[in-house]
Structure 1
Amino acid sequence: QLTLIGSWVFSIPDLQELVDFMVRNQLSLNPLITHRFTLDDAPKALEIFDKGHTGKVIFEWK
């Protein structure tokens, strides 16, 4: 059994407005991303996240 817990901060229309703004102004999210992990590195990623040493984290599926 697997339990996933998440949070939702913005509504779908708000997210669409944000995406439209970013596309319109050619803004990149890359400066916000501090770490990239594979799923195999998830335990390490969670450890780093729990210590507060991250900004935004991406899990890459390859």
Structure 2
Amino acid sequence: MPMQPWFSDAKLGIFIHYGVYAVDGVPESWSFYTGQVPHERYMRQLDGFTASRYDPESWAELF
């Protein structure tokens, strides 16, 4: 799919990425893939990740 005509003039892009790894403050999700965070530690974070503050409409208004 080609880029939309407006894309080259947009000047701003925001990508919000968070997940299980954020519970312990791990800087990014690749730390599990690369072995920096062992599987057991990664999986212990599951109960702490609830995405309870997930509100993309409010985020879009803010941006």
Q: TM-score, normalised by structure 1?
A: 0.28
Q: Which has the higher contact order (CA 8 A, sep 6+)?
A: 1
Q: TM-score, normalised by structure 2?
A: 0.28
Greater Rg by CA:
2
